[in-house]
Chain A
């Protein structure tokens, strides 16, 4: 009955690899987000999608490409992983585009070696 779920929970990979993180929400929300949390716990928005359309795209390397096959899913694909990509990535969703009351997933802990 998890509202916002992410897979995998942990991801350890080598530099240069390509990896994907998946996110699903069963809340019926229209808007989904990806956040990056660094080692100092600082949370920064990366992307947001509303009904499968990109509405926020912060200054993120184009190695990061979000994909939303439907409004309940927002996946994050990362090409050519770098050491600095190591962080916890959180998916979130909200009812509308106004960013209010976002519900977060449990996070994916990415470690690039």
Chain B
């Protein structure tokens, strides 16, 4: 069955606020995780990734946190902007990539003006 999932299907935040998107995974053998952003009518776009030997990784306005103990992944977006409105997917890789990436269901982030 599906091993990666998201807690909230829709998240609405005020412009300028921070947002946190959560993701749970069940495969303890997963060694690599990615967050993708998909805008309406477009393909998924890579945001940030993290390996299982790390707990935190920061990018521009985004931070990914990995808690292997509870198999939880989160994406934090600081100072959200209208352009951040999109569906966000987490994905995991296990087996060294031989089985491909497994994507979660996606969270729709809505930025309110």
Contact = CB atoms under 8 A, between A and B. Distances in A.
Interface of A: 4, 33, 40-45, 48, 55-56, 58, 90, 92, 97-107
**Which 6 residue pairs across A and B have the least CB separation, nearest first?**
A104-B43, A99-B97, A45-B100, A98-B97, A43-B103, A104-B44
Nearest to B44: A104
Interface of B: 32, 34, 36, 38, 41-46, 49, 87, 89, 91, 93, 96-101, 103, 105-106
B64 to A, nearest CB: 14
Contact of A56 (B36, B42, B98): B98
B36 to A, nearest CB: 8
Contact of B101 (A40, A42, A99): A99
12 contacts: A41-B38, A41-B87, A42-B106, A43-B89, A43-B103, A45-B101, A56-B100, A90-B43, A97-B97, A100-B32, A101-B34, A104-B43
Name which of B38, B87, B93, B97 has the most chain A CB atoms within 10 A of its CB: B97
Contacts of A105: 43
Contacts of B38: 41
B9 to A, nearest CB: 9
A56 B49 CA distance: 22
Nearest to A40: B105
B46 A42 contact: no
Nearest to A43: B103
Contacts of B97: 97-100
B100 A33 contact: yes
Nearest to B31: A98
A41 B106 contact: yes
B99 to A, nearest CB: 7
Given A40-B105, A41-B87, A41-B106, A56 B32 contact: no
B59 to A, nearest CB: 13
Nearest to A103: B46
A104 B103 contact: no
B42 A106 contact: yes
